[in-house]
Structure 1
């Protein structure tokens, strides 16, 4: 291996290590107010897995909140996906690579298998490329075919920076207040028709938008 390549790999390693620790410190510093968290606590106390869905713009804290063993996450095959996959593995996730545009059908099948094998699933239904707040089918299909409940999560920060990305990605300021609001569990009949399933997807989109709006209200 050439010296230049060794230096590049070393720099990438320390860059990743620094980023990981910074993200951990940032998330730990947030003053989080939860609403309806007992929904998740009840499912977990009964050893029941679930699908949790949150908008791409809020994924920093949302991923952090659900990082534990026996949770799987879907990330894209892009370079940004590589970085996210490393962070998620650090938080204890099983990571599946794919998206709606590349490797999506295979990745969705794997996620359904994980859910059937008692893994919880964390997804961003408008990721990885948008449109923003467009609820794609993956979360609903995973819940429908595996028989586990779907829980929606709205997250907002009182002080934050918005990146110039398609999702207006939110980066919270250290020690700021954050709201995290969960929906009640949504159970989806696996015998629903295509039209009925599409209606559920539309309802989930509207509900998650409502949760996001509610989370954005700070006293």
Structure 2
């Protein structure tokens, strides 16, 4: 009997994860059955259960992969020295993040925004996944605090504002825009970048103006 290559095994696992991600993004974790996943990936139950013992293990694998990709996106762009302005930095992170699972739903929207909403909800009920989310968020805050401190050292940002407050706001901007994508449909990253530039360019109103 011919031995199955590791490349084939990895490709099959990827096929299952991608199909499950589409199902979960479309119907949610708990409204999706393993039968739905089997139909989506067009594989037998035996083929799928070789890789995942059931839906809970599939959910855990999806959540860990999503959060891992987000962590990598934030950390990679933060390695630039000096970091680009906040609107450019956030745009780079968001562009990469939205590209995760670039396959489309039936309505043509990217999978990731719908999927991340499910991930956030799942971490509320699952302590193991909540711990992973907390670890990723802590890592992101630390990385983006470093970026803000670099802005402050370069004189690009006021130094009297706590760097952690700015970092949390930058992360919130990304989270909020992804949520808008999930709830109200796709929009180009430039929308957020333009909005940030507008806010960053505000000036104090002059008396009588």
Q: Which has the higher helix share?
A: 2
Q: Which has the higher strand share?
A: 1
Higher RCO, 1 vs 2 (CA within 8 Å, ≥6 residues apart): 1
Shorter chain as denominator, the TM-score bin is under 0.3
TM-score, normalised to structure 1's length?
0.26
